[in-house]
Amino acid sequence: MALLAFLVAAAILCGFGYRLLRVRSGHEAAFHVMRCSACSQKVRYAPDRAGSTGLCPRCLRRLFLPETPPPLSKPILPCRVGERLSRKSA
């Protein structure tokens, strides 16, 4: 009986510890979102990466990540989730 009470108490303490570690601060950085001009994939990046270059996760083209992203438009090309386009040689 004591062992069962100990296991229940340990489980409760682990649950509280997990919740305490999972609590996120309210001042998390929001991400900027833009679309790739080649394949219309949504590209999300942290504000501290703004002004640099990055890769589109779908077509792997280099993108300039603007300080203030343009309003998000509708996709130009129909696509499936997780579909990767082959890189076209220029």
Reported as a single tens digit per residue, the pLDDT across 62-90 is: 999 999 888 887 776 666 666 666 655 44
Cα gap 63→56, rounded to integer Å: 7
Per the structure, the complete domain to which residue 42 belongs is given by 30-72
DSSP state of 53: E
In a domain, 17, yes or no: no
CB 60 within 8 A of CB 87: yes
Residue 55's Cβ-side half-sphere holds a number of Cα atoms within 13 Å equal to 6
DSSP state of 32: E
In a domain, 85, yes or no: no
In a domain, 47, yes or no: yes
pTM of the model: 0.54
In 40-87, beta strands by DSSP E: 42-45, 53-55, 62-64
CB 37 within 8 A of CB 44: no
pLDDT tens, residue by residue, 15-69: 887 877 776 655 556 889 999 988 888 899 999 999 999 999 989 999 999 998 8
Amino acid sitting at position 71? P
Domains: count for the chain = 1
